[in-house]
Structure 1
Amino acid sequence: MKMRKSMAMGLAAVMAASMIPAVPAMADDATGKVYYLNFKPEADEAWQNLAKAYTEETGVDVQVVTAASGQYETTLQSEMAKSDAPTLFQVNGPVGLKSWKDYCYDLKDSDIYSQLTSDTYTVKDGDAVDGIAYVIETYGLIVNKTLLEKAGYTLDDIKSFDDLKKVADDIQARKDELGIKGAFTCAGMDGSSDWRFKTHLANLPLYYEYKDKGVDDADTIEGTYLDNYKNVFDLYITDSTCDGADLSAKTADDSRNEFINSEAVFYQNGTWEYAELSKTFSDDELAMIPIYFGVDDENEGLATGTENYWCVNKEASEEDIQATLDFMNWCVTSETGTKAMNEDMGFTIPFKTAAESTNVFVKQDQEYTEAGLTPVSWNFTTMPSEEWKNGVGTALTSYAAGGSWDDVVSAFVDGWATEKALTE
């Protein structure tokens, strides 16, 4: 989710042409090799560097290939059909596991499993540990505190949706005076960016509906909180740096660059953006606040969880499986590995050897939780399919350009029932 422009364009071209290079032969003095199909484009450079460091230390060849944003599942399907298939891949939770459980090596006796801080950071099929979460992340509204204060406000002025709307509307009305383009960065609906709204923002109405019902999944949903979803999205497309009709072509880079260039005050994104933003801003200039939803604002914290579970390909050779298990364990236990995941990738890792995070957004999440606010759980791992997400994304894009919100409701509620039925 979220990528450097030059790397993203190059990777997208590689994926589209199906020209991923074959996994190189292992080094003469090493046993087994690793091929990791990485889900996170924004972490590609860090993974390439870490793979190189591991090879230099152990002699074991590690190749990391990164799927283009929004193309992981189709890339995984293509790569798994090849003779040199990935030895390490990812599923996004129980829904994703359904498609790949027959390929998953049981990790219950692995060293990395013993390093987990909690068994809740796994996905299972019966007693088998099919996947292990390798990162815990948080998202919300990233705030340029300097611009917010220039507009005459502080974080203490925003404690609810009504507060957020009041502040954002005022900033938007005074954008020329303040020398900015809008209160919010563009809600880009290009494939590199639309996951922020059809997945991450869409998590909020699911979270509150699940909470009401006391469930953690559902075959049908009522859309109880879709009016709240609309209210937040309306802010994003009206108090924005651009017209709603332009959002279909706006990318993740467009949105990030607007924030980096101090053209907007608010930017919906997550802890993974810290490494990039910290090149421009000091910690004192940045904050992350909840995406206040107008439901239980006084108790709402940041959205914290994971959809990133490592799986080992049991169809690989014994040597490659062992090499992969060793690499995974090294990533989360060695000083080199934990430092790279913590600092270079901006990850909080759920392992006993995790270093204390230097990420200001992670620290703020901890502060919110310690203050008694409830983290919003990640429920989008229960979303029935990519087709459902795409349907919601298309409807949101149309709505932003002047279409009907009823189409969003239909895509959300009716599309959910249709896609859930197909997975049964």
Structure 2
Amino acid sequence: MKFRLFIISLIMLVSMSLMVACGSNDSANSDGSADNGDEVVVDVFNIKVETTEQLNNLIEIYESENENVKINVTTVGGGQDAPSALQAKFSSGEEPSIFLLGGLSDVEKYKDYLLDVSDMESAKTAIDGTLQGATIDGTPYGIPLNIEGYGWMINKAIFEQAGVDPASIDSYDKFVEAVETIDSQKEELGIDSVFAFSAKEDWVVSQYSSQFTAPEFDNDIKTAFEAEELNFEYGDRMKEYTDLFNQYNYQPILSLDYSTSVEELFANDRAAIIHQGNWIVPTLNSMDESFVSEKLGILPFFVTSDTEGKIVAGPSWYWGINKEQDEAVVEESKKFIDWMYTSEKGKELIVQDFKYVPAHEGYDTDAISDPVSAEVYEYLLNGNSKIWANNQYPDGFFSEALLPEFQKYLGEQQSWEEFEQAASEAFTEMR
């Protein structure tokens, strides 16, 4: 009997030892990352619909190198209200681990959730000045996604067929002349319209407005963010450009969305000019790789001077990390973002797969494959660029005030003066 009890006790002791051993293997490491057994789940909120496939590919590679990590992506954009969708995530208690910030307004809005990224490698390697758009009181709260620039994206082949050399457009008057020349040959060129400005999209209208508001804010991010008034100092030129594209645009302009503008009209040689940026390169490449290399070009806006053309260029979005998540999730989120921008594989994917202009040091910029992205980079380096002023607007301004008032003008429901007044009043009230 005693021998039997001894055997039972011995078995129980061995079992308990095995349980303790297994438990220790399933615990997290001291740095918060998972050891064998525990899976760390990182939820990413993405709004860059045009690079969804590239992001999923990057994540798949990262997961293959980190077997206990699962990264889930929610992508909202391309006609959907991404800011409202992100807000809904936080309101419902489904806060993402990593999410994109559009500028200082977003940083201020989510500041209580945001991690100070100062100690991250991807913050230390960020090009000088690129952290400014996510820095409050000297603390950076976001890692720059990339460098993006926008202006008039053009189909150079259509211009050349119409006898217009894009390189010769060095003034506002030359731009107007080119538009009128192309319009006069619409049938011969086989196009539906000169412009395909997608006025249905609030973000397109917002970015367009930045061409004219950036110089009013002295082309300074902090000045734009702290501004309590928007006086449309360059409103006359904004009206001239608006009247021009509305006259020669694909109609009905108020219902023209991103997909129709970029993927149906522009990519299929049915429109010569759109207001977009180099982020459309992956979309165009997925449809016809020769389009970007042979046809795509960019033209600047002539705002403060009839002969000095500039585009908007700089960091457009920032990755914010939710510090309120579990420690293991926060650490893995930092590790993932650092890997994306500082590892050799991550850097390769950023340039070659995403077709991004990098906002970080340590990249071979000669590897920027498409000519428009290279041109955007040159605009930035040569001082011929403006800030993303629209990212510093008061929270909700561009969707709740700017877009509807701008659409009223396009739809001939109010005068330009009434548009400026309504938008200016809303800007001050919402600030």
- TM norm. shorter chain > 0.5: yes
Asked whether 1:54 is paired with 2:49, we answer no
Aligned to 1:45: 53
Asked whether 1:32 is paired with 2:40, we answer yes
Asked whether 1:360 is paired with 2:371, we answer yes
Aligned mates of 2:142, 2:81 — CA distance in 1: 20
Aligned to 1:299: 308
Distance 1:81 1:195, change over 3 A: closer
Q: Secondary structure at the match of 2:310?
A: strand
Aligned residue among 315, 320, 323 for 1:314: 323
Residues 74-122 of structure 1: CA distance to partner in whole angstroms, max 9, x if unpaired? 2222223455531111222211111111101121122322222225424
Aligned mates of 2:40, 2:358 — CA distance in 1: 26
Distance 1:351 1:156, change over 3 A: closer
Tell me how far 1:240 sits from its aligned partner: 1.7
Amino acid at match of 2:428: A
Which residues of 2 match residues 397-416 of structure 1 at below 5 A? Answer: 397-404=407-414, 405-416=416-427
Contact 1:103 1:314 in 2 (8 A): yes
Aligned residue among 264, 275, 288 for 1:268: 275
Aligned residue among 76, 88, 95 for 1:85: 95
Q: Secondary structure at the match of 1:314?
A: coil
Distance 1:182 1:87, change over 3 A: same
Aligned mates of 1:61, 1:121 — CA distance in 2: 28
Once structures 1 and 2 are overlaid, which stretch shifts more, 78-87 or 129-138?
A: 78-87
Q: Secondary structure at the match of 2:86?
A: helix
Aligned mates of 1:284, 1:196 — CA distance in 2: 25
Tell me how far 1:144 sits from its aligned partner: 1.2
Asked whether 1:96 is paired with 2:102, we answer no
Aligned to 1:203: 210
Which residues of 2 match residues 269-284 of structure 1 at below 5 A? Answer: 269-278=276-285, 279-280=287-288, 281-284=291-294
Amino acid at match of 1:179: G
**Structure number with larger C-alpha Rg:** 2
Asked whether 1:377 is paired with 2:387, we answer yes
Distance 1:127 1:73, change over 3 A: same
Contact 1:216 1:379 in 2 (8 A): no
Contact 1:332 1:353 in 2 (8 A): no
Contact 2:148 2:376 in 1 (8 A): no
Aligned mates of 1:32, 1:247 — CA distance in 2: 46
Contact 1:260 1:277 in 2 (8 A): yes
Aligned to 2:15: none
Tell me how far 1:157 sits from its aligned partner: 2.8
Q: Secondary structure at the match of 1:208?
A: coil
Aligned to 1:8: none
Amino acid at match of 1:117: I
Aligned mates of 1:213, 1:351 — CA distance in 2: 21
Aligned to 2:86: 76
Aligned residue among 353, 375, 379 for 1:344: 353
Residues 10-36 of structure 1: CA distance to partner in whole angstroms, max 9, x if unpaired? xxxxxxxxxxxxxxxx89546533111
Which residues of 2 match residues 131-142 of structure 1 at below 5 A? Answer: 131-142=142-153
Once structures 1 and 2 are overlaid, which stretch shifts more, 117-126 or 205-214?
A: 205-214
Residues 243-281 of structure 1: CA distance to partner in whole angstroms, max 9, x if unpaired? xxx122211011112111111211211010112223421
Amino acid at match of 1:287: G
Aligned mates of 1:105, 1:189 — CA distance in 2: 36
Tell me how far 1:355 sits from its aligned partner: 4.0
Once structures 1 and 2 are overlaid, which stretch shifts more, 28-37 or 48-57?
A: 28-37
Contact 1:140 1:291 in 2 (8 A): yes
Q: Secondary structure at the match of 2:73?
A: strand
Aligned mates of 1:400, 1:134 — CA distance in 2: 33
Tell me how far 1:301 sits from its aligned partner: 2.6
Number of residue pairs matched by the alignment: 386
Aligned to 1:227: 236
Q: Secondary structure at the match of 2:216?
A: helix
Aligned to 2:176: 165
Distance 1:386 1:83, change over 3 A: closer
Aligned residue among 382, 387, 393 for 2:403: 393
Tell me how far 1:141 sits from its aligned partner: 1.1
Aligned residue among 328, 331, 341 for 1:332: 341
TM-score when normalising by structure 1: 0.84
Aligned mates of 1:28, 1:83 — CA distance in 2: 29
Runs of 5+ consecutive residues of structure 1 not aligned to the other structure: 1-25
Q: Secondary structure at the match of 1:216?
A: helix
Aligned residue among 104, 115, 124 for 1:114: 124
Residues 287-318 of structure 1: CA distance to partner in whole angstroms, max 9, x if unpaired? 1111233x324333321022311111111111
Distance 1:166 1:139, change over 3 A: same
Distance 1:313 1:414, change over 3 A: same
Tell me how far 1:382 sits from its aligned partner: 1.9
Tell me how far 1:397 sits from its aligned partner: 1.8
Aligned mates of 2:35, 2:189 — CA distance in 1: 58
Distance 1:365 1:188, change over 3 A: closer
Tell me how far 1:44 sits from its aligned partner: 1.6
Aligned mates of 2:129, 2:305 — CA distance in 1: 29
Aligned mates of 1:53, 1:155 — CA distance in 2: 41
Distance 1:388 1:109, change over 3 A: same
